[in-house]
Amino acid sequence: MASNPYFSLAVLFAAALGFGLTPLGLAWLWGKVFSPAKPNAIKNAIYECGLESKGDAWVQFRSAYYLYAIIFLIFDVEAVFLLPFAVAFTGLGVSACLAMLVFVLLLVEGLAWAWAKGVLTWA
Amino acid sequence: MAVDEGLKIELGKQGVFVTSLQELYNWGRRSSVWPMQFGLACCAIEMIATTMARYDMARFGAEIFRPSPRQADMMIISGTVTKKMAPQVVRLYNQMAEPKYVIAMGACAISGGPFKQGYNVLKGIDRYIPVDVHIPGCPPRPEALLQALITLQKKIDGQPLTGEGRPRFLDAEAQGEFPVPEQGEHDLEPPSNPAVWPVPLTINK
């Protein structure tokens, strides 16, 4: 068995495992057997900032933030494409202008939808 | 069986180290007092200075400030405890693992200090939690905090592990929970914990 080329590796692996697990085991033993545990409700509380935790941890966030994403797309991302379009406008063919028109109209449709939904109204 | 102090010194000269389980246990306990990382007021600045290179609290094994009460041994009440803050301080003390120690640092933590007459300042944190060492000063210099730590270490060293006078955490009967006060109409409710702070008798003549 000692002639196996992996023998030294196995020994090192066992040593490494022991190096990691022995302190953990000792700490566990100390915690279970010797430590002077005085548990109570306050000590076992989850939150440890000195404040009492209130409510449930499983809070759901509103999914309505997609509206912000749509408006951002319309006003910000559109500008990114409009600027190079404006710079290269004189050298563009009909097909390029049509493609850009379709792109802008698609975004305008989004704006019209958001407007109709009342998203632009400051509540 | 206790070894005679003189014999112990004599053996030490010969290169034989004699100790007892109690001494070893207390040595370990006092050499790794990890403070909790939180400051309340101006004393905290002095506390920070104490941990830095000039005063070097690490010499006493107490440099590892833990941000969680679960990993801390010592609470340094560094500054004014307002009545708004007192419940949080007591709750944090409750959440610390045994054994735990408290150093009340500065005039405010001891008695309310210059704000004693104020409606919103707690007149000493020892009304709610057991304090091991009080240090006066406004604020105490870093040397004073080191002195407090040395005093605490001496106190730990002198504690017997069994019988009368053993520390609270080794007493199975002793309670580990200290009631957290709540904001009442005019003051904290209750205004003090009678188990740790007997209300002094006021005599009106």
Compute the distance between CA of residue A20 and CA of residue A80 in angstroms, rounded to an integer.
54
Mutate to test the interface with A, among B95, B100, B169 (most CBs of A within 10 A): B95
Distance from CA of B15 to the nearest CA of A (A): 31
| A43, B177 Cβ separation under 8 angstroms | yes
* C-alpha separations of A85 from A70, A72, A91, B21, B182 in Å: 21, 19, 10, 83, 65
pLDDT tens digits, one per residue of B65-92: 999 999 999 999 999 999 999 999 999 9
pLDDT band at A120; cut points 50, 70, 90: confident
For testing contact with chain B, the best of A30, A38, A44, A53 (most B CBs within 10 A): A38
CB B188 within 8 A of CB B57: no
Strands B188-189, B182-183: pairing kind: antiparallel
HSE toward the beta carbon, residue B110, CA cutoff 13 A: 15
* pLDDT over 80 at A101, yes or no: yes
In chain B, where the domains are located: 9-157
Name chain A contacts of B180, Cβ cutoff 8 Å.
42
Q: pLDDT category, B97, cuts 50, 70, 90?
A: confident
* CA-wise closest residue to B46 among B124, B103, B131: B103
**Is the CB of residue B110 less than 8 Å from the CB of residue B78?**
no
State the pLDDT at residue B99: 87
Closest-CA residue of A relative to B170 is A36
How do residues B117-159 score in pLDDT, each as one tens digit? Answer: 889 999 999 999 999 999 999 999 999 999 999 999 999 998 8
B:46-105 residues touching chain A, CB 8 A cutoff? 68-70, 87-89, 91-92, 94-95, 97-99
From the list B119, B155, B116, the residue with the least C-alpha distance to B134 is B155
Q: Are B130 and B174 in contact (CB under 8 A)?
A: no
Question: Quick one: closest CA in A to B100, which residue?
Answer: A36
Phi, psi for B103 (deg, rounded to 5)? -115, 120
pLDDT surpassing 60 at residue B1 = no
The reply to whether residue A43 touches residue B180, judged by beta carbons under 8 angstroms, is no
Tell me, what amino acid is at A75?
A: F
Identify the pLDDT of residue A68: 81
Nearest of B190, B195, B155 to residue B83 by alpha carbon:
B190
Q: Which helix (H) or strand (E) holds B8?
A: helix B5-13
Q: How far apart are CA B72 and CA A43, in angstroms?
A: 13
Tell me the C-alpha distance between B17 and A52, whole Å: 50
Chain A hits for B21, CB-CB cut-off 8 Å, are: none
Q: Is the pLDDT of residue A31 over 90?
A: no
A41 shares contact with chain B (CB less than 8 Å): yes
The dotted CATH code for B9-157 is 3.40.50.12280
Of B151, B144, B156, B102, which is closest to residue B127 (Cα–Cα)? B102
CA distance B125 to chain A (A): 15
Give the Cα separation of A12 and A18 in Å (integer): 10
Distance CA(B119)–CA(B147), nearest Å, equals: 32
ipTM: 0.75
Chain B residues 141-180 with CB within 8 Å of chain A = 169-170, 174-177, 180
So what's the pLDDT on residue B51?
92
Inform me whether the C-beta atom of residue A5 falls under 8 Å from chain B C-beta atoms: no
Q: Which of B142, B77, B84 is CA-nearest to residue B110? A: B77
Predicted confidence band at A123 (pLDDT cuts at 50, 70, 90)? low
Q: What is the pTM of this model?
A: 0.74
Evaluate if residue A2 carries a pLDDT over 80.
no
- Chosen for mutation from B29, B71, B91 (greatest number of chain A CBs closer than 10 Å) is B91
From residue B116, alpha-carbon distances to B80, B83, B111, B121, B194 in Å are: 10, 12, 7, 7, 20
- B132 close to B159: Cβ distance less than 8 angstroms: no
B7-50 pLDDT per residue, tens: 888 988 999 888 888 889 999 999 999 999 989 999 999 999 99
Contact assessment for residue B179 and residue B193, using Cβ atoms and an 8 Å cutoff: yes
Instruction: Please report residues of A whose CB lies closer than 8 A to that of B89.
Output: 50
Name the residue of chain A whose CA is nearest to B95's CA: A43
Question: Which one of A36, A37, A42 has the shortest CB-CB distance to B95?
Answer: A42
**Residues A95-120: what's their mean pLDDT?**
89
User: How many CB pairs below 8 A link A and B?
Assistant: 43
Hey, is the C-beta of B183 within 8 angstroms of any chain A C-beta?
A: no
